[in-house]
């Protein structure tokens, strides 16, 4: 098994992966492949099959067969047993999977290890729900009827995921889908397909029937588009940008498939003058520089009350300056490279846009001047101050380590600025005033609000977006509803159904 100390030997070796369809490891039918690049070295480290429409269709049909066959016949108790075994397999392979994800997306190993070691909890939690999915009896409004509901699996799920937290975001969907009795076809991000394919091996080891979990790899508009459009997919669950989410929803609507969309954000992190400023500064940098800002919930707009504006900026800049950039596979590294070249170029363009719009570059903004970082896609943690909420850097999701700091006068104004966004994924509030904290939590237009904290996410807590940040909820028992549908059953009890065309 790869470990966190053997980067040198790993990075030299070019690996080839195959896709998982119906329990078999297969090449793309066209034989085509694409490359996965390590953003720290800039070198290709793996090749991945490029699935065509027919490969996607084969995976969807396999998922349907599993649903109609052995998987569909299992009880909730039996599904739960398999899901628990999968959790044990994930636990045993957490380090290997974390190294693969860091090699693919450059996120620091300490974060990826944390995510992967915690990942089994998603499966244990939803395994616990698998045998508690039940309907209800409904008192009849007319005589001689017994009415009940069944809660049944939605069917074949098509999942499309991004590169920033590949297996965590997959598990938000997969763990409740399995608990509900659905089957799954995953199209991971082209930059981070390897960990999904390694993950697929754990299904066989855990004893799942073939076809319950399938992975097809390839590019978004082609392979992802084919999955969203496939009429055999009953629900498309997507995490990614709002622009792609719109397209996925249009494609799914061709065959009226349901959708869950987890999309982008421009989340406000709001600091009142009465807050513990040291804690707030820690929350600000955790919100934007963890994962080099490449998280959907990034606290990319820091709203600061005027009285403490200068003091908080000094603290945030001092902390940004102290962040250790470096090889993401080393434990001591605090911020790694940007995940891939196009994203790196996009962030640099946004830094130029911010300067042109008149924001003050208080810290960072450049490619670091260090010889050991020149091969990778590195950027300094960047802090823009004197930002107006109408500037593009305050309105558009940058998805990088770029903080925009916006001053405000009072609570009313803070709320107005915070809610003045097309997004509504998350928000943070820092205050020592209990009433104010709860007032803000109720008035903020966001799916998650943290009071005196930032960036917590749990398997048992619903997560999703308001406004253009999404549709539907993941995590928590809410997620079971996303993967089940309700059937109502009417039972006539008298045995004397009358001819409806004869009166009296
Ligand atoms: P993205 O470009 O929208 O891609 C996401 C996924 O969609 C990838 O697998 C991509 O494939 C695929 N895709 C692209 N075009 C497609 C199409 N026309 N049809 C079907 N699939 C298509 O997003 P990203 O850049 O990977 O991820 C960053 C975005 O995700 C940010 O906006 C971030 O906020 C959001 N995000 C949201 C959450 C949340 O829970 N709300 C969590 C994490 C990330 P390729 O890889 O081949 O392009």
Residue range 91-147, pLDDT digits in tens: 999 999 999 999 999 999 999 999 999 999 999 999 999 999 999 999 999 999 999
pLDDT of 367 reads 96
Same domain, 140 and 281: no
Provide the pLDDT for residue 503.
72
User: Does residue 202 carry a pLDDT above 60?
Assistant: yes
Single residue among 403, 420, 451 that ends a domain in this structure:
451
Residue 11 pLDDT: 53
Residue 48 counted as domain residue: yes
Q: What's the rounded Cα separation, in Å, for the pair 134 and 151?
A: 6
Residue 262: CB within 6 Å of ligand 1?
A: yes
The mean per-residue pLDDT over the stretch 302-310 comes to 98
Residue nearest to atom 1 of ligand 1 (CA): 240
Q: How far is the CA of 326 from the centre of ligand 1 (A)?
A: 26
Q: Is the pLDDT of residue 376 over 50?
A: yes
Contact 278, 286 (CB under 8 A): no
pLDDT above 90 (res 251): yes
Q: Residue 5 above 60 pLDDT?
A: no
Residues 393, 408, single domain; the answer is: yes
pLDDT in tens, 397-423: 999 999 999 999 999 999 999 999 999
Domain assignment present for 464: no
- Look at residues 245, 263, 281 and tell me which one is the last residue of a structural domain: 263
User: Is there a catalytic annotation at residue 262?
Assistant: yes
What is the average per-residue pLDDT within 223-239?
98
Q: Output the average pLDDT for the chain.
A: 96
**β-strand partners of 160:** 187, 238
Half-sphere exposure of 252 (CA within 13 A, CB side): 23
Neighbours of 201 (CB within 10 A): 13
pLDDT in tens, 46-70: 999 999 999 999 999 999 999 999 9
Ligand 1 atom closest to Cα of residue 227:
20
203 Cα distance to chain centroid: 21
Note whether 148 and 136 are within 8 A (CB). yes
Q: Are residues 293 and 249 in the same domain?
A: no
Q: Is 60 exceeded by the pLDDT of residue 394?
A: yes
Same domain, 315 and 388: yes
233 plus 286 within the same structural domain = no
Angle between helices 120-130 and 109-118 (to 10 degrees): 20
Q: Are residues 101 and 232 in the same domain?
A: yes
CATH number of the domain enclosing 172: 3.40.605.10
pLDDT of res. 3: 42
Q: How far is it, in rounded angstroms, from Cα 182 to Cα 242?
A: 26
The pTM of this model reads 0.95
Q: Concatenated DSSP letters for 322-385?
A: T--BS-TTSTT-SB---SSHHHHHHHHHHHHHHHHHT-EEEE--S----GGGSSS-----EEEE
What DSSP string describes 54-119? HHHHHHHHHHHHHHHTHHHH--HHHHHHHHHHHHHHHHHHHHHHHHHHHHHH---HHHHHHHHHHT
d(CA 4, CA 332): 12
Inform me whether the pLDDT recorded for 8 exceeds 50.
Answer: no
Asked if residue 411 belongs to a domain, the reply is yes
Q: pLDDT at residue 474 above 60?
A: yes
What is the mean pLDDT of the segment spanning 3-11? 44
Please say if the pLDDT value at position 7 is more than 70.
no
Return the pLDDT at 94. 98
Compute the distance between CA of residue 293 and CA of residue 482 in angstroms, rounded to an integer: 29
Confidence of residue 4 (pLDDT cuts 50, 70, 90): very low
Span 269-293, mean pLDDT?
97
CATH number for the domain harbouring residue 310: 3.40.309.10
Choose the final residue of a domain: 204, 229, 263: 263
Residues 407 and 282 in one domain: yes
| Best of 51, 173, 241, 399 for a ligand 1 pocket test (most atoms within 8 Å of beta carbon) | 241
Average pLDDT over residues 227-253: 98
**Residue 459: is its pLDDT beyond 80?**
yes
Most ligand 1 atoms within 8 A of CB, residue of 188, 220, 296, 462 to mutate: 220
The verdict on residue 504 lying in a domain is no
Residue 145, SS3 per DSSP: strand
Task: End-to-end CA distance of the chain: give it in Å, rounded.
Answer: 79
CA distance 427 to 417: 12
pLDDT single digits (tens) 309-338: 999 999 999 999 999 999 999 999 999 999
Gap between the Cα atoms of 308 and 313, Å rounded: 8
d(C-alpha 284, C-alpha 243), whole Å: 27
How far is it, in rounded angstroms, from Cα 432 to Cα 452? 8
Q: Do residues 66 and 223 touch, judged by C-beta distance below 8 A?
A: no
Q: At what angle do helices 166-180 and 76-105 cross, to 10 degrees?
A: 170
Number of domains, the chain? 2
Q: Ligand 1 centre from 440 Cα, in Å? A: 30
Confidence of residue 500 (pLDDT cuts 50, 70, 90): confident
Contact 170, 203 (CB under 8 A): no
> Are residues 90 and 201 both part of a single domain?
yes
Evaluate: CB of 239 within 6 angstroms of ligand 1: yes
Tell how far the Cα of 241 is from the centroid of ligand 1, in angstroms.
Answer: 5
Catalytic: which of 296, 334, 397, 468? 296
Q: Is 280 in the same domain as 173? A: no
Give the structural domain span for 423.
268-451
Whether residue 214 sits in one domain with residue 65: yes
Q: Is the CB of 222 under 6 A from ligand 1?
A: no
What DSSP element (H or E) covers 413? Answer: helix 411-419
Phi first, then psi: give them for residue 416, nearest 5 degrees: -60, -45
Residues 39 and 202: their CA atoms lie apart, in Å, by 26
The burial of 405, by beta-carbon neighbours within 10 Å (0-12 exposed, 13-18 middle, 19 or more buried), is given as buried
Is there a catalytic annotation at residue 278?
no
> Residue 467 domain-assigned?
no
Query: Is residue 426 lining ligand 1, measured as CB closer than 6 Å?
Result: no
Residue 2: the pLDDT is 41
Q: What percent of the chain has pLDDT over 90?
A: 96
């Amino acid at each position: 098994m790869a470990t966190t100390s053997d980067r040198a030997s790993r990075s030299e070796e070019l690996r080839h992966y195959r896709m998982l369809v119906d329990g078999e490891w297969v090449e793309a039918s066209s034989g085509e492949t694409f490359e996965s690049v390590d953003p720290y070295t800039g070198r290709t480290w793996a090749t991945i099959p490029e699935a065509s429409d027919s490969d996607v269709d084969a995976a969807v049909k396999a998922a349907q067969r599993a649903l109609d066959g052995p998987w569909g016949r299992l009880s909730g108790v039996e599904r739960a047993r398999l899901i628990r075994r999968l959790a044990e397999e994930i636990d045993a392979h957490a380090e290997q999977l974390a190294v693969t994800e860091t090699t693919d997306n450059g996120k620091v190993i300490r974060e990826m290890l944390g995510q992967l070691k915690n990942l089994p909890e998603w499966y244990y939690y939803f395994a616990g729900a698998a045998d508690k999915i039940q309907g209800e009896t409904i008192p009849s409004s007319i005589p001689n009827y017994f009415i009940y509901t069944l809660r049944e699996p939605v069917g074949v799920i098509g999942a499309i995921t991004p590169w920033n937290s590949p297996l965590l975001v997959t598990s938000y969907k997969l763990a409740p889908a399995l608990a509900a009795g659905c089957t799954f076809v995953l199209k991971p991000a082209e930059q981070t397909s390897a960990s999904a394919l390694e993950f697929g091996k754990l299904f066989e080891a855990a004893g799942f029937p073939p076809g319950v979990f399938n992975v097809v790899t390839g590019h978004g508009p082609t392979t992802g588009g084919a999955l969203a459009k496939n009429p055999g997919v009953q629900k498309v669950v997507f995490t990614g940008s709002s622009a792609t989410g719109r397209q996925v929803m249009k494609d799914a609507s061709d065959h009226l498939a349901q959708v869950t969309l987890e999309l982008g954000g421009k989340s406000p992190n709001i600091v009142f003058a009465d807050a513990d400023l040291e804690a707030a500064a820690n929350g600000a940098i955790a919100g934007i520089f963890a994962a080099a800002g490449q998280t959907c919930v990034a606290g990319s707009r820091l709203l600061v009350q005027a009285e403490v504006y200068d003091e908080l900026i000094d603290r945030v800049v001092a902390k940004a300056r102290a962040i250790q950039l470096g090889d993401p596979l080393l434990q001591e590294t605090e911020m790694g490279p940007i995940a891939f070249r196009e994203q790196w170029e996009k962030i640099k363009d946004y830094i130029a846009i911010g300067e042109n719009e008149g924001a003050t570059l208080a810290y960072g903004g450049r490619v670091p001047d260090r010889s050991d970082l020149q091969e990778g896609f590195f950027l300094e943690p960047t802090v823009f101050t004197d930002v107006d909420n109408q500037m593009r850097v305050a309105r558009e999701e940058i998805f990088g380590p770029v903080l925009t700091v916006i001053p405000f006068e009072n609570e009313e104004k803070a709320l107005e600025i915070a809610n003045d966004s097309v997004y509504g994924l998350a928000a943070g509030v820092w205050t020592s005033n209990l009433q104010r904290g709860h007032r803000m939590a109720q008035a903020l237009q966001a799916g998650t609000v943290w009071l005196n904290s930032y960036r917590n996410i749990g398997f048992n807590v619903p997560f999703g977006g308001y406004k253009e940040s999404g549709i539907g909820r993941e995590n928590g028992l809410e997620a079971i509803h996303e993967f089940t549908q309700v059937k109502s059953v009417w039972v006539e009890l008298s045995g004397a159904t009358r001819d409806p065309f004869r009166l009296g």
